[in-house]
C-alpha cells in the first residue's frame, strides 16, 4: 500500500484521539466514559497500525531512537483519557502531560528524524 495512505490514517487517527482525549478532560462525566473509551481505543490502535505501516514502508522496519521515544509518547498519551475518568481532579495536569507528549512525538518526527535524513 502507498505510504501516503498510512500517513493520512496516522494523522487523522491522531486528530480523533487528541480531540476525544481533550473532550474527556473537559467533561469526564461517567455517562461519557464508554463512548470515549471506545473511540480513543480504536483511534489509538489505528495510530499504532499506521505508524508501523510507515515504519515498514519508509524505514524497512528499523527501530531508531526516535521511534522508541514516539512509542513511549503514544503509550502515555493513550492512557490519559482513561485516567481522566478515574481521577477527574487531575484533569489540568493530564492536559499538560498530553501537550508535552504530543509535542515530544512531533519533535521526534520533524526535528530528530528529518534532521537525521538531511
How far apart CA 72 and CA 21 sit, in angstroms, is 17
Q: How far is the CB of 10 from ligand HEM (least distance, A)?
A: 5
Q: Output 9 or 91, the one with its CB closest to ligand HEM.
A: 9
Stretch that binds ligand HEM, among 25-33, 46-54, 80-88, 89-97 (CB under 6 A): 46-54
Note whether 102 binds ligand HEM by CB under 6 A: yes
Stretch that binds ligand HEM, among 26-34, 63-71, 83-91, 92-100 (CB under 6 A): 63-71
Q: Do the beta carbons of residue 59 and residue 78 sit within 8 Å?
A: no
Note whether 83 binds ligand HEM by CB under 6 A: no
Q: Output 60 or 92, the one with its CB closest to ligand HEM.
A: 60
- DSSP for 66-101 reads HHHHHHHHHHHHHHHHHHHHH-GGGHHHHHHHHHHH
Note whether 33 binds ligand HEM by CB under 6 A: no
Q: How far is the CB of 8 from ligand HEM (least distance, A)?
A: 8
Convert 47-80 to b/e letters by CB count within 10 Å (16 or more is b): bbebbebbbebeeeeeeeebbeebbebbeebbbb
How far apart CA 91 and CA 10 sit, in angstroms, is 26
Q: Which of 46, 49, 71, 83 binds ligand HEM (CB under 6 A)?
A: 71
Amino acid at each position: 500500500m502507498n505510504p501516503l495512505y498510512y500517513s493520512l490514517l496516522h494523522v487523522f487517527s491522531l486528530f480523533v484521539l487528541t480531540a476525544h482525549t481533550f473532550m474527556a478532560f473537559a467533561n469526564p462525566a461517567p455517562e461519557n466514559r464508554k463512548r470515549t473509551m471506545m473511540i480513543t481505543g480504536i483511534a489509538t490502535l489505528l495510530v499504532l497500525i499506521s505508524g508501523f505501516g510507515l515504519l515498514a514502508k519508509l524505514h524497512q522496519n528499523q527501530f531508531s531512537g526516535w521511534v522508541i521515544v514516539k512509542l513511549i509518547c503514544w503509550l502515555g498519551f493513550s492512557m490519559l483519557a482513561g485516567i481522566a475518568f478515574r481521577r477527574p481532579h487531575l484533569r489540568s495536569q493530564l492536559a499538560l502531560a498530553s501537550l508535552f507528549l504530543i509535542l515530544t512525538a512531533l519533535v521526534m518526527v520533524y526535528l530528530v528524524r528529518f534532521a537525521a535524513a538531511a
